[in-house]
Amino acid sequence: MVINDERSSQSERTPHAERRDQLLLVARSIFAERGFQATTMDDIAKEAGFTKPILYQYFESKTELYREIVNQTAQKLLTSLRDAVAAVDSPRTKIEVAFRVYFEMVVSETDAFRILFIHSHEGETKGDLRAVELGLVSFLEPLIAVRIKPDHRRQLAAGVVGIAEGAATAWLIQQEGKGWPTPTPGVAERLASRSATLAWGGLRSVELD
């Protein structure tokens, strides 16, 4: 009897979760196109086909909705990175794999990264990108297998994150200038290879403390 109750409860939660996911997808698309400031809860509700009161049943504010999208993107990226580097051994391979996973997600989830890199410097949301960057720096620090002081290692990790973010932002701006065409085959691999080559070349020349 308990099992049936649990199944019933799960079934009752499913439509709620599906609607919430739908709202997040719609909001992500609108935020990516217009930015945080220019987007309203009315815009999101209308595009999703719901009333604004229904939208507020799921998210208390536009800021909460926006930050949920940013947090989802960050968590998915970090989880994918951790899983990928755990499957390889050498420091260089770990860096290369991390870049590949990063750019595969940038290319496949363009809207999410447009929000992060193009629109995330607006108003009350301007600190959200910084939080994502710090998470990536912390992830990369242990991958830099050089006998240097912790402060030095963290600075290098931040530099590697800067390479990835800069390349991703440049690509997104280029895509925007072209009217957002379908990404060309192999573009994620090329971006990853170029960035990894630059990063690894710099790491190899690091002088020990």
Lookup: tokens for 14: 């499913």
CA angle 29, 32, 33 (to 5 degrees): 90
Does residue 8 register a pLDDT over 50? Answer: no
Residue 125 gets which letter from DSSP? G
Q: What is the mean pLDDT of residues 81-92?
A: 93
Residue ranges of domains in the chain, CATH in brackets: 2-204 (1.10.357.10)
Does residue 168 register a pLDDT over 70? Answer: yes
- Cα–Cα distances (Å) from 62 to 27, 36, 39, 104, in that order, read 9, 8, 9, 28
Q: What does the pLDDT read at residue 122?
A: 63
Assess contact for 54 and 45: CB atoms under 8 A. yes
Name the pLDDT band for 17 (thresholds 50, 70, 90).
confident
CA 7, chain centre distance (Å): 33
To the nearest whole number, what is the mean pLDDT of the chain? 89
Helical spans, DSSP H, in the chain: 2-34, 41-48, 52-58, 62-86, 91-108, 110-117, 128-140, 150-177, 187-204
For 51-79, what is each residue's pLDDT tens digit?
A: 999 999 999 999 999 999 999 999 999 99
CA angle 202, 78, 44 (to 5 degrees): 120
Name the pLDDT band for 123 (thresholds 50, 70, 90).
low
The pTM for the full model equals 0.86
Does residue 6 register a pLDDT over 90? Answer: no
Biggest alpha carbon–alpha carbon distance for the chain: 66
Name the pLDDT band for 182 (thresholds 50, 70, 90).
very high
Cα(first)–Cα(last) distance of the chain, in Å? 65
Q: What is the mean pLDDT of residues 16-23?
A: 90
Q: What does the pLDDT read at residue 206?
A: 82
Q: What does the pLDDT read at residue 121?
A: 64
